[in-house]
Structure 1
Amino acid sequence: MSAVIAAAGLVCPAGLGLAESAAGARARLSALREIDWCDRRLERFIVGRVPDPGLPALASALVDAPLQAREARMLRLAHAALVDVYAGLPADLPAPPLLLGLPEHHTTLPIDSERFLKLLANQAGACFDPALSIAAPRGRASGLMALSQAVTRIAAGEAGLILVGGLDSLVDLYVLAALDRAGRIRGETVSDGFSPAEGAAFLLVASEAEARRHRLPVLARIAATGSGFEPGHLYADEPYLGDGLAGVVSACLDNAGLAAPLQTVYCSFNGERYWAREFGVARIRNAAAFADEARMEHPAECFGDLGAAHGVALAALACHGLAGGYRPGPALVYASSDKGDRAAVIFERSS
């Protein structure tokens, strides 16, 4: 049973919806700005922040709830992205389960995954079934790992519709301070670093039969998914060998059985050299599967690192590009988390 992407939504510093975000990324417009918060050298952080006036207000039932500032921000980001997903879809669409990727970098109080799902249901309404939903704090790769689970469930006939998401805000004082102490935030004295950002992205995954039943659009077809682990990750003592991402890409290619080489790659580069080296290993080990002039897309240069939202955001942008005809397929989308998780998906244009 084949799985397709029936809808996608994205809210990030480049736009308050997928179409706007895709246009900003396509035009290479920078959405990175200085904020009032300063690093340990008293230089202002440069981050990607979603304009506050464009986000829904916190639900009245949650105004007096004991929320971390980061939690409240993430709830509003997610609400806006979910509105983007469901815009134009049938009003009688059944509420699907949600598989949600959450941050791997935490404040002094980690986000409780089960509690957050209940909060999100209160914030965004009945657009997903919280009783059947799962959230995991696995960082950039978590959303694509969830997508792989969704495809497996759909293929097994366990569900016809599944909502997959990723959500994060690295624009948090504690997270910024921790990343600054580690020397990872790009600035006047740090060139091998990245620009922290925030965002939310969601994909509505459907079986082809369910898409026809509800007369849903098809943005792209999922040819293959995969996930794995890199022992030599950023926070590990083991040496980096590049086996994690390279193995995930190899497995995806084997399962996809593509008739044409990969034409586009959406990667989770964020400006740190580690990630470019990682992809170099994966590309060399799978060189025959890539077109000679395969296009590389790394939109973090426009809107920063979206943390746990990054993988699904890349997938949403890829689907928008394939459906709009301005990006050639097949397209490889991958994301790598700081603490070892790796995940990838191959999309093809719908026929």
Structure 2
Amino acid sequence: MMAKRETIVVVGTGARTPLGFDAASSAAAIRAGISAIQDHPYMIDRFGERMKVARDTGIDMSLAGPERAVEIALSPALDALQSLAVARQAAKVSLILSTGESRPGQKEGFAAQVSAKLRSRLAEHIVLEGGGSTAGGHAGGLLAIYHACKTLRDGKAEFCLAGGVDTYLEPETLEWLDENEQLHSEGNIYGFCPGEAAGFCLLTTLTIARTFGLQPLLEVVGASVASEENRIKTETVVLGEGLGAAFRFLFEDAPIDPVGRIICDMNGERYRGNEYGFAVIRNPGRFKDAADFETPADCWGDVGAASGPLFVSLITEAEARNYQRTPLSLIWAGSENGTRAAVLLGGPRSAA
């Protein structure tokens, strides 16, 4: 008989989005349907209109590159670590961070630079040991959670701070998106509104959480990764094989109860909607209502690698305020490089 796998729990979250500088305000704005999408101060699209973006108004537009990403990431990372400060016990934390994929305005080595600078800032508050960084794209934040779960189960860390930070607001990036016909506008309704944000989750095993006297916020029921060969911006036709596989891997060891809440990184691009539809067909009977899904990008813009951890914070806020109506939630995201990642989350009572 196989031994039961160690339960992984979320004991802290942090969020900074165009809707709010912490998880509570961001989640409240999403729940109210408030949109942060606005005209860019000066960037003009190919139709002669100002680009539609969602930006962090607390950070000066002149701040760019890794420095801007770190400025966005610092406060939510510290918020996620707050539970350890309350515990008042020495703990070593492994930082696993993702940024957007390499692209114009975000060159090779960007993720490593952001990680190094963020580590330096966090080292003033916590002992960091191990971890890594990747330019994972939209699925990057969920990839960080996936690797954090593996790290914890392998006994290589006591705590993992898994997060993602992304910003599309570099002028070179915006021009590239416009050239690729990916910007949303009246002339291109199937594009998306670029945003910027950061989200973090502090993860540990249930055993260590109890040792430190920490209250689990959620249980990570499962995390999965798969790859899609028929990628966006290619001549192929997507049939949901990669995302469908990510769902299947996730459900193999999951409770038989159907998923009641779905949050994803769909952003208005037709590719993502088509992919999801096929992925659902490949996993019959696993959803209460597969058409009832949430797309926060409608409110805070497309936030790339930050998406997954931010979705976690939406669920922790719902649990904390008693408006989470289902025991199982599915969050998923897909990167342009073909990576698909999904995480299944259960309420804190399931971790007890």
Q: Same fold (TM over 0.5)?
A: yes
TM-score, normalised to structure 2's length?
A: 0.90
Q: 2:346, 2:328 → 1: CA distance?
A: 5
In structure 1, what is the equivalent of residue 73 of structure 2?
Answer: 78
Q: 1:349, 1:28 → 2: CA distance?
A: 24
Letter in 1 for 2:10: I
1:21 lines up with 2:7 in the alignment:
no
In structure 2, what is the equivalent of residue 229 of structure 1?
Answer: 227
Letter in 2 for 1:97: S
Q: Secondary structure at the match of 1:212?
A: helix
Q: 1:90, 1:20 → 2: CA distance?
A: 24
Q: 1:47, 1:148 → 2: CA distance?
A: 29
Q: 2:112, 2:102 → 1: CA distance?
A: 17
| 1:4-44 alpha-carbon deviations (Å, 9 max, x no partner) | 00011110011110000000001111111112221233210
Q: 1:201, 1:93 → 2: CA distance?
A: 24
Letter in 2 for 1:166: G
- 1:112 positional shift: 3.4
- 1:70 positional shift: 2.4
In structure 2, what is the equivalent of residue 220 of structure 1?
Answer: 218
Q: 2:150, 2:38 → 1: CA distance?
A: 40
Quick one: which of 328, 331, 342 aligns to 2:329? 331
1:10 lines up with 2:21 in the alignment:
no
Q: 1:261, 1:291 → 2: CA distance?
A: 6
- 1:119 positional shift: 1.1
Letter in 2 for 1:18: A
Q: 2:196, 2:347 → 1: CA distance?
A: 29
Q: Which has the higher mean CA deviation after the structures are superposed, 196-205 or 214-223?
A: 214-223
In structure 1, what is the equivalent of residue 50 of structure 2?
Answer: 44
Q: 2:63, 2:299 → 1: CA distance?
A: 28
Alignment check: 8 A CA contact 2:184 2:192 kept: yes
Letter in 2 for 1:83: L
Distance 1:321 1:54, change over 3 A: farther
In structure 1, what is the equivalent of residue 147 of structure 2?
Answer: 149
Letter in 2 for 1:287: P
Distance 1:182 1:118, change over 3 A: same
- 1:204 positional shift: 0.2
In structure 2, what is the equivalent of residue 62 of structure 1?
Answer: none
1:278 lines up with 2:275 in the alignment:
yes
Alignment check: 8 A CA contact 1:33 1:47 kept: yes
RMSD of aligned C-alpha atoms?
A: 2.1
- 1:136 positional shift: 0.3
- 1:332 positional shift: 0.4
Quick one: which of 301, 311, 318 aligns to 1:304? 301
Q: Which runs of 5+ in 2 are unaligned?
A: 1-5
- 1:103 positional shift: 1.1
Distance 1:323 1:126, change over 3 A: same
In structure 2, what is the equivalent of residue 30 of structure 1?
Answer: 35
Alignment check: 8 A CA contact 1:71 1:111 kept: no
Q: Which has the higher mean CA deviation after the structures are superposed, 177-186 or 39-48?
A: 39-48
1:69 lines up with 2:64 in the alignment:
yes
Q: Secondary structure at the match of 1:87?
A: helix
Alignment check: 8 A CA contact 2:8 2:204 kept: yes
| 1:177-199 alpha-carbon deviations (Å, 9 max, x no partner) | 00000000001211110000000
- 1:329 positional shift: 2.4
Distance 1:120 1:301, change over 3 A: same
Letter in 2 for 1:278: E
Q: Secondary structure at the match of 2:293?
A: strand
Letter in 1 for 2:23: L
In structure 1, what is the equivalent of residue 96 of structure 2?
Answer: 99
Alignment check: 8 A CA contact 1:322 1:348 kept: no
Q: Which runs of 5+ in 1 are unaligned?
A: 56-66
Identity of matched residues, % = 28
In structure 2, what is the equivalent of residue 211 of structure 1?
Answer: 209
Q: 2:173, 2:126 → 1: CA distance?
A: 29
Matches within 5 A, 1:179-218: 179-218=177-216
In structure 1, what is the equivalent of residue 240 of structure 2?
Answer: 242
| 1:240-275 alpha-carbon deviations (Å, 9 max, x no partner) | 22100001001101122x142100001111111111
Task: Count matched residues.
Answer: 339
Q: Which has the higher mean CA deviation after the structures are superposed, 130-139 or 326-335?
A: 130-139
Q: 1:43, 1:95 → 2: CA distance?
A: 49
TM-score, normalised to structure 1's length?
A: 0.91
| 1:205-247 alpha-carbon deviations (Å, 9 max, x no partner) | 0100111111112111011110011100113444322100001
Alignment check: 8 A CA contact 2:162 2:200 kept: yes
Q: 1:344, 1:162 → 2: CA distance?
A: 18
In structure 1, what is the equivalent of residue 3 of structure 2?
Answer: none
